[in-house]
Chain A
Amino acid sequence: MAAGATMMMESGQRFSTKSDLVPDWARQEVSTGTTIMAVEYDGGVVIGADSRTTTGAYIANRVTDKLTPIHDRIFCCRSGSAADTQAIADMVTYQLGFHSIELDEPPLVETAANLFRASCYRYREELSAGILVAGWDRRKGGQVYCVPIGGMLVRQPLSVGGSGSTYIYGFMDANYKPGMSKDQCMELAATALSLAMERDGSSGGVVRLASISEEGVERRVILGNQLPRFSTH
Chain B
Amino acid sequence: MATLTVKVPPFGGFNFENSKRNAALEGAVNKVGSSLPAARKTGTTICGIVFKDGVILGADTRATEGMIVADKNCSKIHYISSNIYCCGAGTAADTEMTTRIISSNLELHSLSTGRVPRVATANRMLKQMLFRYQGYIGAALVLGGVDCNGPHIYSIYPHGSTDKLPYVTMGSGSLAAMAVFEDRYKPDMEEEEAKRLVRDAIAAGIFNDLGSGSNIDLCVITKGKVDYIRPHDEANKKGVRTGDYKYKRGATGVLTKVVTPLDLELVDESVHTMDTS
Task: Give me the interface of A with B, judged by CB distance under 8 Å.
Answer: 4-5, 8, 11, 14-15, 17, 19-23, 26, 29-30, 53, 55, 58, 60-61, 63-64, 81-84, 86-87, 90, 126
User: In the complex, what residues of A have CB within 8 A of residue B85's CB?
Assistant: none
Asked if residues A29 and B41 are in contact (CB atoms below 8 Å), the reply is no
B157: CB under 8 A from chain A?
Answer: yes
- Answer whether residue B64 sits at the interface, using C-beta atoms and an 8 A cutoff: yes
Contact B23 A19 (CB under 8 A): no
Within B58-78, the residues touching A (CB, 8 Å) are: 64, 66-67
State which of B38, B159, B171 has its C-beta within 8 Å of the C-beta of A81: B159
**Known contacts A21-B41, A58-B175: A86-B160 contact under CB 8 Å:** yes
Please, how many angstroms separate the alpha-carbon atoms of A58 and B168 in the complex? 13
Alpha-carbon distance between A26 and B16 when the two chains are bound, in angstroms: 23
Min CB gap B159→A, angstroms: 4
Are A21 and B36 in contact, CB atoms less than 8 angstroms apart?
no
Partner of A21, one of B64, B124, B162: B64
Known interface pairs A20-B67, A60-B163. Does A87 touch B43 (Cβ–Cβ under 8 Å)?
no
**A-B CB proximity, top 3 nearest:** A82-B161, A21-B211, A83-B159
* Assembled-state Cα–Cα distance A87/B136 (Å): 16
For B35, the chain A residues whose CB sits under 8 A away are 17
Which one, B48-56, B127-135, B262-270, is touching chain A? B127-135
Which residues does chain A contribute within 8 Å of B111, judged by CB atoms?
A: none
Q: Which A residues are CB-close (under 8 A) to B127?
A: 83, 86-87
The docked-state distance in angstroms from the alpha carbon of A14 to that of B27 is 11
Query: Which residue on B lies nearest to A55, using beta carbons?
Result: B157
Question: How many residues of B are counted as interface, with CB atoms below 8 angstroms from the partner's CB atoms?
Answer: 35
The A interface, classified by DSSP as helix, strand, loop or mixed, is mixed
Given the interface pairs A14-B23, A22-B41, A60-B157, the reply to whether A8 lies near B64 with Cβ below 8 Å is no
- Residues from chain B with Cβ under 8 Å of A126 in the complex: 134
Asked if B95 is at the interface (CB within 8 A of a chain A CB), the reply is no
- B210 at the A/B interface (Cβ < 8 Å)? yes
Q: List 28 A-B contacts (CB under 8 A).
A: A4-B134, A5-B134, A11-B135, A15-B19, A17-B38, A19-B66, A20-B67, A21-B66, A22-B41, A22-B43, A22-B172, A23-B172, A26-B171, A26-B174, A53-B163, A60-B157, A60-B163, A63-B165, A64-B163, A83-B127, A83-B130, A83-B135, A83-B157, A83-B159, A84-B159, A87-B127, A87-B128, A126-B134
Give chain A residues whose Cβ lies under 8 Å from the Cβ of B157: 29-30, 55, 60, 82-83
In the complex, given contacts A17-B39, A30-B159, A83-B127, what are 13 additional A-B residue pairs having Cβ atoms less than 8 angstroms apart? A4-B16, A11-B136, A17-B35, A17-B36, A20-B67, A21-B64, A22-B41, A26-B172, A61-B155, A63-B165, A83-B130, A83-B159, A84-B159
Contact A83 B66 (CB under 8 A): no
* B residues apposed to A, CB below 8 Å: 16, 19, 23, 35-36, 38-39, 41, 43, 64, 66-67, 124, 127-128, 130-131, 134-136, 140, 155, 157, 159-163, 165, 171-172, 174-175, 210-211
- Contact at A22–B163, with CB atoms within 8 Å? no
Question: Whole-angstrom distance from the CB of A219 to the nearest CB of chain B?
Answer: 16
Q: A83-B157, A86-B161, A86-B162 are in contact. Are A19 and B41 (CB under 8 A)?
A: yes
In the assembled complex, the Cα of A84 lies from the Cα of B157 at a distance in Å of 12
Asked if A22 contacts B159 (CB within 8 A), the reply is: no
Tell me, in angstroms, the Cα distance from A90 to B162 when the chains sit together.
12
Cβ contact within 8 Å between B135 and A8: yes
With a cutoff of 8 Å between Cβ atoms, the chain A residues found around residue B128 in the complex are 87
Complex CA gap A58/B136 in Å reads 21
Complex contact A83–B161 (CB within 8 A) = yes
B137 to chain A, nearest CB (A): 11
Task: Collect the chain B residues with CB atoms within 8 Å of residue A29's CB.
Answer: 135, 157, 159
